Chain A
Amino acid sequence: MPTLRTDRLVPRNLHPGAWWLWAIGLAAVASRTRNPLLLLLVLAVAGFVVSARRSDAPWARAFTVFLRIGLVVIVIRTIAQIILGNPIPGQVLVTLPELPLPDWAAGVTFGGQVTAPTVASALTDGLRLATVLACIGAANALANPKRLLAAMPAALYEIGVALVVALSFAPSLVTSVQRIRAARRLRGRPDRGIRGMITVAMPVLEDALERSLALAAAMDSRGYGRRAEVARTTRRTTSLLLLGGLLGMSLGVYGLLDATGPAWLGIPVLLLGAAMAVVGLALAGRRTVRSRYRPDPWSVPEWLTTAAGAAAVAGTVVTGLRDAAALTPDLLPLVGLPLPVTATLGILLATTPAWVAPRPPRTTPTEPPSPRPATTSLSTRPSNAPDRASQASA
């Protein structure tokens, strides 16, 4: 397949949508199973693909961050289950002192027996959450979230930009906090403790606000939010369609959830509302004048990556139909854990993006940082460099 070959050889960013679909597939697998072997396999696959195809950009470090959050989730989940949950009967590992709780807290225990099945189940639940998180982390590491939002339909573009600005707000907030805490120290005020934190909050927010204003001014001067001229009737129709669509969808959902409502209020109204909203959005898109610079193409590697995610889901679904117990097995004894073949094969197929996806282009210098390239040598300087000849004559 020549397309695939060139696609693989020429570094480019895979369409962010493809990475997200692939990752959502893996996350769906993780959320459908409580089999620790399959969960670990999903984790390994996600990690493998990330290490093979992530770029060197700052956002590509997201995977490790999500793994760390996952570890914290496992720990919290396990401790909470052991201390607060009702023990699952089984081999008692240790008995904690039990705290008597009032009647209204029936069903909640505090302390008491800790059994092996409780620990195993808590660990598995934690692992499942951590795996889902790792899948999201993998998507974040592989696809720049900003590029994903940029691929949104034209009418939603401005909401997308608002999200992007909000996304970049968080990291800049962290740097502001560090900077301003350092500055407090320089003024001889306490830089630690709760009081220190509270007094830092105000300047940090001011700083963030100022930065947002600067960004807004820059975006405005660069043409953000320009509107095309559209006929008045079109504008009115658009508003009418969007409003009607919203109303229809709300009514439809209400009809679906409320069993006593008339039957026509359910799915038909919901569908009608959705259709109106889609047409409205398409019309609204005409008002924005934006175009896209080098949009990420959707070609063979994108299809293959999406298919890999779908294969993982399919494997798990088929296993679930044939042998549901293999997806939610008895956790003890550990040696007896089943490894369903179809699900395993599906998950293993999800590693294919590590080969079929193109390599991402480099975003940092290949050389260890020389702050400026050598092209700015002194020879390019204009006339005010001392003139050696006249110096000699003087």
Chain B
Amino acid sequence: MIDFDRVSITYPDATQATLAGVDLHVPEGELCLVIGQTGSGKSTLLGAVNGLVPHFTGGSLAGRVTVAGRDTATHPPRDLADVVGVVGQDPTAGFVTDVVEDELAYGMESLGLRSDVMRRRVEETLDLLGLADLRARALSTLSGGQRQRVAIGSVLTSHPSVLVLDEPTSALDPPAAEEVLAALQRLVHDLGITVVLAEHRLERVLQYADRVIHVPGAAARLQIGSPADIMRDAPVAPPVVELGRLAGWSPLPLTIRDARRQASGLRHRLTGDPIADGGRVGDRAHPATPGEQVAVTCDLTVRYGAIAALRGIDLSVHAGEIIALMGRNGAGKSTLLRALTGLSRADGGAVHVLGHDPRSLSPRQLVRRIGLVPQQPADLLYADTIAAECTAADRDAQATPGTCRELLDRLVPNLDPTAHPRDLSEGQRLGLVLAIVLVSAPPVLLLDEPTRGLDYAAKARLVTILRELAADGHAIVLATHDVELAASASTRTVVLADGEVVVDAPTAEAVVGSPAFAPQVAKVLAPLPWLTVEQVARTLGAAS
């Protein structure tokens, strides 16, 4: 269905090809997962499938890409619209109309399909993706998962034989991600659509893949093979695979179910360890001795119009803690972070950060007390090179020159200092913003969805940095959908639902046994309280 024949892609002004000598053949009806580290060229590979690369992005393409027999060199993306459907990273950015039904019909209108055909296909797609009761809704009123499904539906109505998705679940909470993946699986199974999908959160998608394409980056050869083959030594792997590697299981488990069937021996070895017997592993990793209270909210209520985003939140944040703030899209996580920084006004109750109301502080006073990495990290960037951005950040924070660069090198190593921040990949940009915020080392650090677009290695580096900061007495609040991050970094988990706190407990207690928020290791080892591969490795190391 998709054929890459000795394809090389070079962007203008790039010293080196992004992809070189790619030979790839994706047969019909396959679900193909593209993995790779941040910035390795996954998005370029996806863009080449429907000709957006190079027709839209510029750059040069050597070799031949054919989709359903059409050469992308002679067919611009619009002439491939009936065979390839593309869903970008941010579904909202691609919406052309403002009502669900119109959005589903837009692509067909462009193709000039007959009115009765359009009508039938819209109805079929509404049913297929479970959107029927949303048909007349304004797109702006939909939740993240619903938007993603509408975006998928809007390309499905053209009956493409190939569906290309770039990180379809990265912005979604775990249940919404399941909802989207279930829909995708149905397309592959029932309609025989070929799906090419890039995703960092392998723990969510690996179990559905028929084939994995590993893009190693730096124009190295692609590795293509079955999930089990590639996972044996891929540098990016979900926790369940890491656990399998650690325990030496063969065949390597790709799903929780496979792993659980092999896990009884490991469970035995772990419980044989006297230290783990009574105590909670999470607590042992981060001793729970709360420091002084640095931020507190009392009965905090924030409303948007008639809708209460937060209702009566009581939360105290102590120095040395890492709190994972979880909950569905729209549960009020971002609002809580905004209220803590004084960006949202409290309609009731109070917020205090180090004894001050954040709204009364000047921006300069504010950054010394509290730092926030917003959901769109690019908002914090102004300069036109990374080097200038780092210098400005050092100056703003009155830190030793070079501090920012040093932090950046630890988060995302080897970035070209003359590159423009907007040319970075999502993950690299997040790393840069994190570095900028961390320069002033504020006592309270808030991160809104920090792992969007980050690969496992970058995530691990982030966790190390966060732990160090916490050990230095910083209080950290992470709003995240990433259960693996929450499990490995946080000491406490707070779950919001509908603007209220529904869980506030040490992480190990909060996530074990919760179907939505348990990390993979906890699911494999349940009812044992180990949450991460790292904890298991440490216990095994101590035992031997």
- Indicate if A278 sits at the interface (CB-CB under 8 A): no
A364 and B141 contacting across the interface, CB-CB below 8 Å: yes
Q: Known interface pairs A210-B422, A223-B82, A376-B145. Does A384 touch B207 (Cβ–Cβ under 8 Å)?
A: yes
Contact A221 B515 (CB under 8 A): no
Kindly list chain A residues whose C-beta atoms are within 8 Å of the C-beta of B296.
Answer: none
- CB of A5 within 8 Å of the partner chain: no
Taking a contact as CB atoms closer than 8 A, the residue among B52, B154, B363 that contacts A188 in the complex is B363
CA distance A186 to B366 in the complex (A): 7
For B76, list chain A residues within 8 Å (CB).
220
Q: Considering only CB atoms, which chain A residue lies closest to B261 in the complex?
A: A390
| 1/0 contact string of A168-193 vs chain B (CB within 8 Å) | 00000000000110111111111100
Which of the candidate stretches B94-102, B450-458, B530-538 sits at the interface with the other chain?
Answer: B94-102
Give the chain B neighbours of A228 by CB distance below 8 A.
Answer: 112
Q: Say yes or no for B32: interface residue by CB 8 A criterion.
A: no
How many A-B contacts are there with CB distance less than 8 Å?
243
- Chain A hits for B176, CB < 8 A: 372, 376
Distance in angstroms between the alpha carbons of A228 and B424 in the assembled complex: 38
Residues of A within 8 A of B363 (CB): 184-191
Whether B406 sits at the interface, judged by CB under 8 Å, is no
Query: A386, B396: Cβ atoms under 8 Å?
Result: no
User: Which one, A252-260, A290-298, A345-353, is touching chain B?
Assistant: A290-298
* Interface presence of B138 (CB below 8 A): yes
Task: Tell me whether A292 and B374 are in contact in the complex, defined as CB-CB below 8 angstroms, given that A378-B516, A386-B518 are known contacts.
Answer: no
Residue of B nearest to A380 (CB): B182
Which of the candidate stretches A46-54, A113-121, A211-219 sits at the interface with the other chain? Answer: A211-219
Closest chain B residue, CB of each to CB of A191: B363
Chain B residues within CB distance 8 Å of chain A: 50, 52, 55-56, 76-82, 84-86, 88, 90, 93-99, 101-102, 105-115, 118-119, 122, 130, 133, 136-138, 140-141, 143, 145-146, 154-155, 158, 175-176, 178-179, 181-182, 207, 255-257, 260, 264, 267, 306-307, 328-331, 338, 341-343, 363-364, 366-368, 371-372, 374, 376, 378-382, 393, 396-397, 422, 436-437, 440, 498, 513, 515-516, 518, 520, 523, 526-527
- Other contacts beyond A189-B364, A384-B207: 7, CB < 8 A: A184-B363, A185-B366, A188-B440, A206-B422, A218-B95, A222-B155, A386-B523
A226, CB-defined interface residue at 8 Å: yes
Count how many chain A residues have C-beta atoms less than 8 Å from C-beta atoms of the other chain.
71
Shortest beta-carbon distance from B307 to chain A in Å: 6
Contact present for A363 and B141 (CB under 8 Å): yes
Cβ distance B267 to chain A, nearest Cβ, rounded Å: 6
Counting chain B CB atoms within 10 Å of each CB, which of A187, A190, A210, A384 scores highest?
Answer: A187
B137:A363 contact, CB within 8 angstroms: yes
- For this complex, 27 residue pairs linking A to B, each with C-beta atoms less than 8 Å apart, are A146-B98, A179-B379, A184-B363, A185-B342, A186-B374, A187-B367, A188-B364, A203-B379, A206-B422, A214-B88, A218-B94, A220-B55, A220-B56, A288-B112, A293-B105, A293-B115, A293-B122, A362-B137, A363-B138, A369-B330, A372-B146, A376-B179, A382-B181, A386-B256, A387-B260, A391-B527, A394-B527
Which residues of chain B are within 8 angstroms of A100 by Cβ–Cβ distance? none
* CA gap between A185 and B381 in the complex, in Å: 12
Determine the chain A residues whose CB is within 8 A of the CB of B84 once the complex forms: 221
CA distance A187 to B396 in the complex (A): 8
